Amino acid sequence: MLPREEELRAEICEVGRRVYARGYVASNDGNISVRLDDRHVLATPKSVSKGFMTPDMMVVTDMQGRKVAGHRDASTELKMHLAVYEMRPDVTAVVHAHPPLSTGFAVAGIPLNKSSLAEIIFSLGSVPIAEYATPSTQELPDAVKKYITAHDGLLLANHGALTCGQDLMNAYFKMETMEHFAQITLVARQLGRENLISREEVDRLQGLRDFYGIKSPAPICTDPSAVSGDAITCQFVEAPSSDGPRIVPSPVAPPGLGGAAAGAGAGEIRLTYRELAALIADAVRQVTRDA
Ligand SMILES: [Zn+2]
């Protein structure tokens, strides 16, 4: 056993306890891994609660996921972690969990990519959604590969979330940051307003991110056409243009309408389904009475 391996086994258990304690996973969900050396990773075993792991439970595999050491088997989702290590030589640790707020956005198909928090622009940039893939198949690592080149945090459509970093705590803290961002975003939308940081201010924040040397796999971009292709090379942030104010009021799209209604102007009347049905019923009665 490498001298550092013992420490890493203990650190995985600690991250597992935190992930479980914060409700980012239920039951035996989630998995955590860390690079041991150029050719091996240390990973959590399958069918074990991440909140109750002991260092001896971990599995050592090669970069193809073949078990090298351990009494237990690695999770089938380890493939997704290996895809991250393949695409990102700078990454040392990967955390996958199902935090309820982030996963809610992943289920709703709403990426966490609006320019609402300066701190997020500095750190994660934005969090896109990797397309739905059947868990444990090769589809999932393929979906992750597309986005992980430019992002340290991803939502996995109808599944959960994934983060990576220079060490285990760094990868775990990004999961916390993402879930916190999801929570704040949800609250702002429930309050009915989401004032956004202007595109010009986002550019200034990007400049500061560079100045302070904040590590990021790709720069921020605010032009949606920059992320339309197959290879994602920047972190798309949706930010309104503004020559003057740095904060721009943005009407919030009602649930279910996605981005299409997000640009709707003030003064618009929005109806619930019940109100709309009542109006239609009224109109039908009117027409049949007139006929
Ligand atoms: Zn999962």
Q: Residue 122's CB: how many other CB atoms inside 10 A?
A: 16
Within a 10 A sphere around the Cβ of 258, how many other Cβ atoms? 12
pTM of the predicted protein model: 0.85
pLDDT at residue 230 greater than cutoff 70: yes
Q: How far is the CA of 113 from the centre of ligand 1 (A)?
A: 22
Say which residue, 109 or 211, is predicted with more confidence.
109
Mean pLDDT, rounded, for 155-165: 97
The alpha carbon of 169 and the centre of ligand 1 are apart by a number of angstroms equal to 19
Q: CATH 3.40.225.10: which residues of the chain?
A: 3-190
Give the pLDDT band of residue 190 (cuts 50, 70, 90): very high
Positive or negative CA dihedral for 129, 219, 95, 43? positive
Q: Give me the chain's average pLDDT, please.
A: 90
Q: How close is the Cα of 158 to the center of ligand 1, in Å?
A: 10
For 60-88, give the secondary structure using H, E and C: EEECCCCEEECCCCECCCHHHHHHHHHHC
Report the separation in Å between the CA atom of 97 and the middle of ligand 1, taken as the mean of its atom positions: 6
**Ligand 1 centroid vs 76 CA: distance in angstroms?**
10
> What digits encode the pLDDT tens for the residues 74-93?
998 999 999 999 999 999 99
The CATH number of the structural domain formed by 3-190 is: 3.40.225.10
**Single-letter residue type at 230:** D
Residue 250 or 126, more confident: 126
Tokens of 67: 């078990």
Distance 156 CA to ligand 1 centre (A): 9
Q: What is the mean pLDDT of residues 219-243?
A: 88
Per-residue pLDDT at 231: 80
